[in-house]
Chain A
């Protein structure tokens, strides 16, 4: 412990005296304009999308058959026409309404199921069995039953959507709760927290990365399920969402409009996944350094 005072330790000075940092060449240097631009992921991706659009336009020009593969410009033309005539916004509105209802209801059901699954042992077992059974079952496969139970219309769509959302959200939320570290739990108990305050101040924030992942997966399932079931519904009912818009355009052989419908689906998907969920992520899990 007291080696330094014993007299046996010699201190050897460094061969160069340490330089004053101010005189060193580069300590911190701003990057060049290109390096800055290149480091922005969104810009790199935009550039790639631009390339893909050019490839589409040229490829479709070579095929030269607007019934099989319309050009990008024809698709954009059909898109703007549909938007201006008010048809497309109305279809989007119908789809989104159903989606929000189904998604919201699904999340509520998932919350209730998770509450059971976290509080009691038997509830956990029940939840595990249910998710194991229903998670692999594609929501579309339930459509025939839904049609018999709820008839044609929103009821059936919402039933199918709820099914597509519930299991993904429940599975992730429950595993999130179970993964909350024993230390954090003890910290909560140490502060005298019990019951609901304990759940809302400790468990839910601690499990939030998993909850968010569940919500994202649930959204992706719901969106795909909705469009698919609208396509099936389109055959027999007039209630028109985006799926119906695509189906209708196909029947009228308005292929550019059909492509415009597909483009809309892609755009909405991108906006929700890369804008809405991304914003939530940067303000929560990324800021907290607890990305799952």
Chain B
């Protein structure tokens, strides 16, 4: 790696950190310093470099990429590193991916794979809002449905058993499930009781049409749990028509209607 030798020579530092980051931000405590070595990474302080060194650094970065290496934005690298680790430690998620790899459209598979990573982050109680938005931006409402269904375990606990019991049943239902998610309503903060009620009625209709024997209403967080409970109270007649179970634990609610 010729570019790396040039970089070390330019700053006369030993590469004893796993990561080198280029940043403008220097802060008052770093006046006059060309780089800061925290042990975990070396931050090269671009604005503190002479014009000549800035230009030499730019040429080195160009050479790095031209030699075949990637040059990544810092946060993107952080996510990429996690995704590489995800690829190596898929565990049970690999079984899901292997199962669906040749069964579902390529884009759905990509959405599923991204959703499995999202689910892992969710289970670690880390923020997933940007990841969810990324899936939705790329794959639209279908991607959003796949993400919700995956996080709630529908791929393992509904679609896989369905395929194993009836390939024809799977072929008939899969597209409806991921495009409309009729048997699982995922309540979010922007949904009011009226919309939930509408979605439930639509879900009941579609589920019955395709022989799906249940409807689930999912909610996460106190606000969504309260909204769902208000919805149940205000639609007593509708809900009392079906056998109903309510599972509530750790800020998650699932209302199950047996059809």
Question: Do A and B come from the same complex?
Answer: no
